Structure 1
Amino acid sequence: MKQRITYIVSDPDTFRPELLDVKHASITLKKVQAAKERKVTIGLGELPEQLAKAFEQWHELHIRWASSKPYPSIPPFISRVTPGLHVFFTPHKAKPTNGQLCDLLHSTFGKELKCSSTSEAATKLPILSERFSMSASSQYYSYVPTLANLVNYVQEKVCGEKKRCKEEVGELLEADYLDVDYDAISHAVVLNAFWSTALDGDSWAETISVPGKGQSVEVGVLMHETRPDPEDIGFGGFLTVLGQDKAPKPTRFQTPTRHYPLSSTSTATSDAETSSLTYSTSFAPPTGLHPTLTLTFPTSPIPPNPTCKLHTHLTLPSYLILDKYQFTDSLFLASHNLKSLHSISGATDLEAPDWVVEQWGSAVLFELAVAEFVEGEDEGENEGKEWNATVPLHLRYLPAAESSHTSVPVPWPVVFWACRAEEGTKMSVNPFDRLHLGYEGLFGPKTRFMHVEPQGGQGKLVEWIDVPVLDLRKAKWVEVGTIGAVIVAFLGLVWVLFGGKSAAKKVESKGEGKKKQ
């Protein structure tokens, strides 16, 4: 097992080397305000046999979970996915795996997940760039608000009676995101967790030690620095390898990165207005069966440079659907501040109710119709004015319930500028880069993503909307009325078939008797 723990100090002016107490096999942090990333690499031979066999069924498997709590992005941990559970995978061609992934997800993330078999629940992942031709082939999504089920599973199946293991796994309950990666080439499972702030919300005061004899842990305490190359990201600080080094080593390095923040310290051509750009998501009540998702920006977005285009990537659960035929009309797009529908995949049947849809939902990529920035143009008239982009959606019919409405979650989409990078091939050397986010393969190989921060609505990056459903409490009268109507119709039919004939015979016999007289 290998471990790499990285701290990114939030305010370099407050950090002093005295806050670190480094020994040969341990390091103690004394109230260090920083973001934290923990990367653990585990060989399949170190996992329980049942869990190792579950991973071996896949050519590659990538799990991305993100919290619904808003958190600040700190370089180099900038990339985002919509809140919930994302699974990207490619099965082995020679090994049937139908249903096994769903069983694994039910065991680790909750039995309530809508997943019976991967062939039915998953959707094909559109890949438009040859750079990502080796990306996973299928995608699955479900809104999972917490990692409690996963934590309990790992503590029981993997940790056993190891107290230290249970404590470290328990910290995942406060993580902002968690990545799990496996591929058949490395035969190793890589877990990557991120905390934007300390567990107590203030600073890290903890001791990290080597887990066992002959093992080592890489620890870095770094500070974000400006760098001469606008497409690189720079760091300075201290590195140590517990179990090998006796003292932390000063270090300074820079690396190209695919994901950038919108700030003057991380982009070459961003101004104050661009760097402070944020967005929020809302639905105008009452939503009814045709809700409209609204993206609100505090001011009209200005491209950081001429090559940048503003995009939003939506992850829609199965009960929400987008009518792609609406977005072929340029006037319709313009009325919603949308420029084009770049990609849509997944469940797109407009007529099917939710209970017959096997797939998890659909993924949609839009380009927003922002105004081009003209140097020297007066920006005063748009200052302080909100700018909105809207996406009309449709709700599928949901199963009946003991109420007239039911609430369903809708995760916030991610919003980012897609810009042209000069040296896209060099991005692969970044040790902090994240792949398999569901939307990078929709762009070219020389694309860098500059992410817009979400504001966070009432402390959550998810909206709950009320959906009208059939009320079972009132449906009983419908049932009684329907049965009564059927009985009356049946009796009427019997009377017509039998009672009517006998009456006709009596009339006929009376008529014959009169003729004889």
Structure 2
Amino acid sequence: MQILSISAAAFLGWSAVASVSAQSATSSSALPQLQHRHSFFSTLPVEPSDDNLKVARHQVQVVGLSGFREWEVKGSFRDLYSAAGKISAAADRALDSHAKVHVQWHSSNASLLRPPFTPTFIPGLHLAVTSNNFDATWEAYCPVLAELTGAVDCRVLEELQLEDQSTKLINAQHLIPINNHYYVHRTTEPPGFMSSSSVLSTLVAAQQSGTRGPALIDLVLENGNGNLKVVWSVGNQGQDDEENTVKVTFDKQTDKVVEVGWFYRELTEREHTVFDHYLGATVKMDAEGEVVSEALIQTRSPVFPPHKKEIATGNIRIPGHGYSSTMSPAQTFHPHSITTIHSNPYIAETTGECDLYVLQVLPPGIFVDPFQLEGLASEIGESTVFGETDLEKPVGVVPGWGSLVLVKVQPEESVKTSRWIAGNATTETTADSQGSGKPSPYISTVDVPMHMRYQPPVSEQDPATHVDVAIPWPIVAWTCPASGNEESAVDAAKKLFYIPPLPLNLLFKENTVNFRFLLPDPIPKHYPESHVSVPVGRLEDLEVVRTVTFVLAGAGTLAVAWALIKAVAGRSSGKGKQD
């Protein structure tokens, strides 16, 4: 296999030097037909110049790059296996062209992706199957998926026993229907995921070359072909002040394009436009290495930046877009998930036809009651629930994952909590803009009642009386119609870097909406999560609980039986008197 040669000197924090040979013992006629695309994106507020950009034939060298590296691979299943030096009969099977398998893995240890990149991937493993015939699709794709990623049990439903429901390997019964998709989420990777024997592990290992593990893996399998995207953090990520240099040399036979892009905020006379646009200066080289195109791309970012600040003092000049979330109270069986959203005063100018949604991906230890949410529609607004909602199940027997809760933030005044509350554009002003005539920001609070499951009891040696359950913050995003006026800008952004997070894009038709995401505020280093402390039982109390349960259940049965006897006797006595 011929592959892009990369040496990345002085990767910040790691000081790692990566080198992947462009030559292979395999003859050129036997090379897998994989298409590689390598991209490096920097969010530093600088423009490319002769000082930090040097371009030569088949090579780009960048000094001071700080951002993310994306590696995209496209090819057939057979080519993916061949590139990893593996052979599989599963790759030669005929597959349904109308079905798709989508896998995403976001490491909880990875730094949160920054604007203008999509920042809201819920940590853990996400797997979605889109098909009108799930059983047939799973049977065809599962062997390939298992060999590519590991951690998958390919037995069909008839072969799975009841005791297999809690297995840590993902199997067919773990995937729960969502519209025409089937979805499962794991907060941590299942055993064997991306093990050394998996195909993707072999491919990715040759690319990361000594750096920390990938921040994001995105794999799509469709019609016998695979599309793989892998993202790593690059450069100054708060480790130290070393200058970062990246040297990219590519092979015309396997590499489709190399892109190096800089993104920085647009500064105009209308200050609020800083929240809605980025200027992207991008250098592209084609596979021949002879054409270099440098373009200034003005595009609406898929992410709303939180605030505009004074460069010298760091003080907020105009409130931006962002949200925070918490579980309240922090110690209970029945917490409320409270998400507070704020946006700058000019939000209506760019989201007039958009809807705002809050999506919570809940682990097995917590769930919502859809009937309760339906009864609270006048308080919360429109909500949809997918996944496990059985309140009787303890956490140990919930298969695969918890549930999804999608709440639409309403514009109507009839909804008390989940709606926008806008300041008066002429009289109400923020504290930072008193006397300037600037309007107040929009604010909304989404309050969703939830319930904790019973946790496994602890042993006698464990003194704990409570256990901590971590719940990731929700995804907050605007969904906007894909209009003809925005297609060119959005397409330009997608070419550079755009991976909508699962499971959000399962709930909407991807070709009819564009997502624009809000960032947690303040922006944390890693994806934030809330915590709930839940009382936990003790194993030494098990016999007492069993005895008390038996006595109470027996007493209840006797009470019901006695009530029935009295009712029948009374009815018979009354009937006799009537006769």
TM-score normalised per structure 1: 0.71
SS of residue paired to 1:318: coil
The answer to whether the 8 Å contact 1:23/1:247 transfers is no
Q: Which amino acid aligns with 2:421?
A: A
Shift of 1:449: 2.7
1:447 maps to which of 496, 513, 530: 513
Describe the shift of the 1:89–1:70 C-alpha distance in structure 2 as closer, same or farther (beyond 3 A): same
Aligned position for 2:382: 340
SS of residue paired to 2:130: strand
What is the correspondence of 1:21-170 to structure 2 with a 5 Å cutoff?
21-46=54-79, 47=81, 48-50=86-88, 53=91, 59-68=99-108, 71-75=112-116, 77-78=117-118, 80-90=120-130, 94=136, 97=139, 107=150, 118-126=171-179, 137-144=181-188, 150=194, 152-153=196-197, 158=202, 165-166=205-206, 168=208
Question: Counterparts of 2:317 and 2:375 in 1: how far apart (Å)?
Answer: 32
Larger radius of gyration: 1
The answer to whether the 8 Å contact 1:21/1:29 transfers is yes
Describe the shift of the 1:273–1:421 C-alpha distance in structure 2 as closer, same or farther (beyond 3 A): farther
The answer to whether the 8 Å contact 1:227/1:233 transfers is no
Question: Counterparts of 1:375 and 1:100 in 2: how far apart (Å)?
Answer: 59
Q: Which amino acid aligns with 1:375?
A: A
The answer to whether the 8 Å contact 1:405/1:468 transfers is yes
SS of residue paired to 1:45: helix
Q: Is 1:396 equivalent to 2:434 in the alignment? A: no
**Structure of greater relative contact order (alpha carbons < 8 Å, 6+ residues apart):** 1
Aligned position for 2:285: 240
Describe the shift of the 1:124–1:478 C-alpha distance in structure 2 as closer, same or farther (beyond 3 A): closer
Shift of 1:213: 7.9
Shift of 1:121: 0.6
Question: Counterparts of 1:171 and 1:468 in 2: how far apart (Å)?
Answer: 41
SS of residue paired to 2:126: strand
What is the correspondence of 1:87-486 to structure 2 with a 5 Å cutoff?
87-90=127-130, 94=136, 97=139, 107=150, 118-126=171-179, 137-144=181-188, 150=194, 152-153=196-197, 158=202, 165-166=205-206, 168=208, 171=211, 173=213, 175-184=214-223, 187-195=225-233, 198=236, 204-210=244-250, 214-216=253-255, 218-224=257-263, 235-241=280-286, 244-246=288-290, 248-253=292-297, 259-262=302-305, 276-297=320-341, 303-305=347-349, 306-330=352-376, 333-334=378-379, 338-341=380-383, 343-368=384-409, 369-372=419-422, 374-380=424-430, 388-402=445-459, 403-423=464-484, 427=490, 430-431=494-495, 432-435=497-500, 437-440=502-505, 442-443=507-508, 446-454=512-520, 455=522, 459-475=526-542
Aligned position for 2:156: none
Question: Counterparts of 2:144 and 2:365 in 1: how far apart (Å)?
Answer: 22
Shift of 1:365: 0.8
TM-score normalised per structure 2: 0.64
SS of residue paired to 1:325: helix
Post-superposition Cα deviations, 1:327-381, rounded to whole Å, max 9, x if no partner, equal: 2235x753xxx3321x211112232333333252211110231214543241348
Which runs of 5 or more residues in structure 1 are unaligned? 128-136, 266-271, 486-517
Which runs of 5 or more residues in structure 2 are unaligned? 1-33, 154-163, 309-315, 410-418, 432-438, 552-579
Shift of 1:97: 2.3
Aligned residues between the structures: 453
Shift of 1:415: 0.9
Question: Counterparts of 2:260 and 2:144 in 1: how far apart (Å)?
Answer: 37
Question: Counterparts of 1:16 and 1:256 in 2: how far apart (Å)?
Answer: 24
The answer to whether the 8 Å contact 2:307/2:321 transfers is no
Percentage of pairs with the same residue: 18
The answer to whether the 8 Å contact 1:125/1:438 transfers is no
SS of residue paired to 2:172: helix
Question: Counterparts of 1:484 and 1:7 in 2: how far apart (Å)?
Answer: 65
Question: Counterparts of 1:349 and 1:339 in 2: how far apart (Å)?
Answer: 23
Shift of 1:122: 0.7
Question: Counterparts of 2:195 and 2:136 in 1: how far apart (Å)?
Answer: 32
The answer to whether the 8 Å contact 1:22/1:246 transfers is no
Question: Counterparts of 1:196 and 1:146 in 2: how far apart (Å)?
Answer: 27
Describe the shift of the 1:458–1:74 C-alpha distance in structure 2 as closer, same or farther (beyond 3 A): closer
Aligned position for 2:50: 17
Shift of 1:475: 3.2
Describe the shift of the 1:201–1:290 C-alpha distance in structure 2 as closer, same or farther (beyond 3 A): farther
SS of residue paired to 1:97: helix
Query: Which stretch shows the higher mean deviation, 46-55 or 3-12?
Result: 46-55
Q: Which amino acid aligns with 1:189?
A: N
The answer to whether the 8 Å contact 2:327/2:531 transfers is no
Question: Counterparts of 2:398 and 2:192 in 1: how far apart (Å)?
Answer: 28
Post-superposition Cα deviations, 1:37-82, rounded to whole Å, max 9, x if no partner, equal: 222334322312249639976732111222435525322x236332
Question: Counterparts of 1:353 and 1:182 in 2: how far apart (Å)?
Answer: 34
Q: Which amino acid aligns with 2:120?
A: R
Q: Which amino acid aligns with 1:280?
A: S
Shift of 1:387: 6.2
The answer to whether the 8 Å contact 1:70/1:456 transfers is no
Describe the shift of the 1:279–1:67 C-alpha distance in structure 2 as closer, same or farther (beyond 3 A): farther
Shift of 1:125: 1.9
The answer to whether the 8 Å contact 1:321/1:393 transfers is yes
Question: Counterparts of 1:400 and 1:373 in 2: how far apart (Å)?
Answer: 50
Question: Counterparts of 1:11 and 1:274 in 2: how far apart (Å)?
Answer: 21
Shift of 1:87: 1.2
The answer to whether the 8 Å contact 2:42/2:67 transfers is yes
Q: Which amino acid aligns with 1:376?
A: T
